[in-house]
A and B are shown apart, each in its own frame.
Chain A
């Protein structure tokens, strides 16, 4: 079991470009969470998805950010027209419907230059 896989591990984008972050949950897990960690801060919840459904997006910025978890393939966190303030580590976690807790990926560090 490969665990939660996130890629890329590091991503550099120029201001105004788009960033796409991918997350493949653990085998058997159908719930995906995205968190953002700004430098020297804790993780902040962004969005919770199940297959083909966004369940809770209360932590997502209203503009430029979107997330999906299609029937097939990884979950994608998409940031359009990136700005320097988007520079952060983005973590994905997955869980199964029994509620046994999060398993985290290793994160994607996004740097906007």
Chain B
């Protein structure tokens, strides 16, 4: 079974600075997807970024980028130029690339609460 570990329960960063959230995972599969989701106080789960394991290039979405180290099974999220609206819980998630009957179930980490200091 796959597991996802987020070892930082809480992080804080000064507004406009850069912060990196850590995620490690364990799997015996060679092909899979990794995700970062943001959950603000509204509780809505918002997809931040997605990485496909067979792609060596790190995914980037505006101020958000990842450092994907497949051999180390590490998938960290970097947020540049932090803004007050970035304050939220951030969850790392794993999904196998192989599915029975289209099953895309996700395995989540326990999350990191990010606080932005004005």
Contacts and interface: CB of A to CB of B under 8 A. Distances in A.
Interface residues of A, number: 26
Nearest to B95: A101
A42 B108 contact: yes
Contact of B102 (A41, A97, A102): A97
Main secondary structure of the interface of A (DSSP, over half): strand
Interface in A62-113: 89, 91, 93, 95, 97, 99, 101-102, 104, 106-107, 109
Interface stretch (B40-48, B55-63, B72-80): B40-48
A46 to B, nearest CB: 9
Nearest to B108: A42
B91 A43 contact: yes
A109 B105 CA distance: 21
B29 interface: no
Interface string B74-109: 000000000000000001000000011111111111
Interface residues of B, number: 22
Nearest to A31: B102
B105 A33 contact: yes
A49 B59 CA distance: 30
Most buried by A among B6, B44, B104, B107: B104
Contacts of B102: 31, 50, 55, 95, 97, 99
B42 A106 contact: yes
Interface of B: 4, 6, 42-45, 47, 50, 91, 99-111
24 contacts: A31-B102, A35-B106, A40-B110, A43-B45, A43-B106, A45-B105, A45-B107, A50-B101, A50-B102, A55-B100, A55-B103, A56-B101, A59-B105, A97-B102, A99-B99, A99-B102, A99-B104, A102-B45, A102-B47, A104-B44, A106-B42, A106-B43, A106-B44, A107-B45
Interface of A: 31, 33, 35, 40-45, 48, 50, 55-56, 59, 89, 91, 93, 95, 97, 99, 101-102, 104, 106-107, 109
